[in-house]
Structure 1
Amino acid sequence: MVDEDSGHEPPPHTGRWRRTKRFVTSTKGAIITLGAVAGAVASVWGLVELIRGDDEPEKTAAELVRECEVAHKMNGATEKITSNDGTTLFASCTWPPSPLADPDGYQAITVRSEELPGGAEATGDTTADRVTGPCASYTLTYTYNHMGQIEHTDPVTLAPGRRVFFPTLAAWEGALPFMPGRDELVVIHGLRYEVDEATCA
């Protein structure tokens, strides 16, 4: 067939080529459009996530204290643990942690009670309490047990490195069967006294 305008026959398959070209062009346009839409959606989603922030709620102080208790096998936020060898551990979990505590809020003071050779109940020098821990000074409370009557003494605050006689708090000048550490507090007392509480002052 001769083209009326040009007087020449059109090349073969011209119509099909035009249809194919239009299809390819349309497909490319659709792909570009879809890509733009996907990019816009991703940008909006990222903005939403930025505004929302972290979906995980911040833990409460009570939850963090409980985690500390579980980690250190404690039955409560404060606990007094006495062993058969005369060692008493005063452990605590607090949040926020004090400057002297571990990062998880755990803190412990150890009191080791040792018998003093040659001591007597009449002179009140039968036992030495060796106090160690992270404290700059310690607040100690004792119980006094006489004939089944138990009383709590007033708290006393003492610094590491001291050797004192309880309850007068006079300096102890007697001999000791051990060499105290520089950061160790030593409290001498009779059998009727027993440490009941120890905290950082």
Structure 2
Amino acid sequence: MDEGTAEERREPSDGTRRFGAAPQGQPFLHKPVALVTLVGGVIGIIAAIVGIVVAFTGPLKPAEGEERKAAVEACMVRHGLDDPHEKNEGGTAGTVLFRECTWPAPAGAEADGYTEIAVTSYDGPGESEAEGMTVANRVRSACRDVELVYLFNNQGTFVQADPTILSKGEIRRVEGGSVWIPENETEAKAFTPRRDESIVMSNARYKLDSARCL
């Protein structure tokens, strides 16, 4: 090869290069055509995976939070609730009714997540407030387990007590949540829960704030 021909094939000295010539040592991802090809390939793979998932499982489901919200709203409409959790003290004297729509439905609730808990208060076995058992709260519900929250009157300031959790047939005290057992036949006759009931022993310093199924 003669020198003139070799000289003609060299890059121009002004830094420009001929059309179509690839720059020497340029990284792969810095080449526009290569980068577009790579991105397009990744998008294609993702689209294929989504298509396979939809084909086998059906359309993608809404987020869990949205599904729960829709279920609760439908339950509220069906049962005439203005709020998901309602407390009604204006019914039978001495009885507080708690109505709730929740999702997923707890054990014992209706299929749409609706629950009712009725709490009736009457005289307990205690002879003084210090015993903490002058009030018996009879809890009726179809739920397997319930949680009751009381407010304790501490010198005019109400403080939330620890939740009291009950299963059907149980008798517990608000103070400490311990199981209470009748000491004699008279107490057993007056304070034995029925099939769908449980009982909470408290006193006048406790005010029932909420009840829900677990």
If the TM-score is normalised by the length of the shorter chain, which range does it land in? 0.5 to 0.7
| Structure 1 equivalent of residue 205 of structure 2 | 192
Q: How does 1:167-178 map to 2 (within 5 A)?
A: 167-168=175-176, 169-174=178-183, 175=187, 177=190
Gaps of at least 5 residues in structure 2 are 1-65
* Number of residue-to-residue matches in the alignment: 143
Task: Indicate if the aligned counterparts of 1:172 and 1:188 stay in contact, CA closer than 8 A.
Answer: no
RMSD: 2.6
Gaps of at least 5 residues in structure 1 are 1-58
* Partner residue of 2:193 out of 171, 180, 189: 180
Residues 166 and 103 (structure 1), Cα distance of their counterparts in 2 relative to 1, 3 Å cut: closer
User: How high is the sequence identity, in percent, across the aligned residues?
Assistant: 35
* Residue 114 in structure 1 maps to residue 122 in structure 2: yes
| Structure 1 equivalent of residue 78 of structure 2 | 71
Residues 151 and 118 (structure 1), Cα distance of their counterparts in 2 relative to 1, 3 Å cut: closer
Task: Indicate if the aligned counterparts of 1:101 and 1:107 stay in contact, CA closer than 8 A.
Answer: yes
* Residue 146 in structure 1 maps to residue 154 in structure 2: yes
More helix by share: 2
| Structure 2 equivalent of residue 103 of structure 1 | 111
Task: Indicate if the aligned counterparts of 1:144 and 1:192 stay in contact, CA closer than 8 A.
Answer: yes
TM-score (norm 2): 0.57
1:98, distance to aligned residue in structure 2 (A): 4.1
* Residue 130 in structure 1 maps to residue 133 in structure 2: no
Task: Indicate if the aligned counterparts of 2:89 and 2:96 stay in contact, CA closer than 8 A.
Answer: yes
| Structure 1 equivalent of residue 55 of structure 2 | none
| Structure 2 equivalent of residue 19 of structure 1 | none
Tell me the amino acid that sits aligned with residue 134 of structure 1. Answer: A
Alpha-carbon distance in structure 1 between the residues aligned to 2:80 and 2:146: 24
Alpha-carbon distance in structure 1 between the residues aligned to 2:107 and 2:155: 42
* Partner residue of 1:80 out of 87, 92, 103: 87
1:163, distance to aligned residue in structure 2 (A): 1.8
1:85, distance to aligned residue in structure 2 (A): 0.9
Q: Secondary structure at the match of 1:69?
A: helix
Residues 98 and 200 (structure 1), Cα distance of their counterparts in 2 relative to 1, 3 Å cut: closer
Q: Secondary structure at the match of 2:98?
A: strand
Tell me the amino acid that sits aligned with residue 104 of structure 1. Answer: D
TM-score (norm 1): 0.60
Q: How does 1:2-81 map to 2 (within 5 A)?
A: 62-81=69-88
Greater than 4 Å deviation, 4+ residue runs: none
Task: Indicate if the aligned counterparts of 1:128 and 1:187 stay in contact, CA closer than 8 A.
Answer: yes
Alpha-carbon distance in structure 2 between the residues aligned to 1:171 and 1:136: 19
Alpha-carbon distance in structure 2 between the residues aligned to 1:190 and 1:85: 18
Tell me the amino acid that sits aligned with residue 173 of structure 1. Answer: P
Is the radius of gyration larger for structure 1 or structure 2? 1
| Structure 2 equivalent of residue 20 of structure 1 | none
Residues 118 and 99 (structure 1), Cα distance of their counterparts in 2 relative to 1, 3 Å cut: closer
1:109, distance to aligned residue in structure 2 (A): 1.4
Task: Indicate if the aligned counterparts of 1:165 and 1:172 stay in contact, CA closer than 8 A.
Answer: no
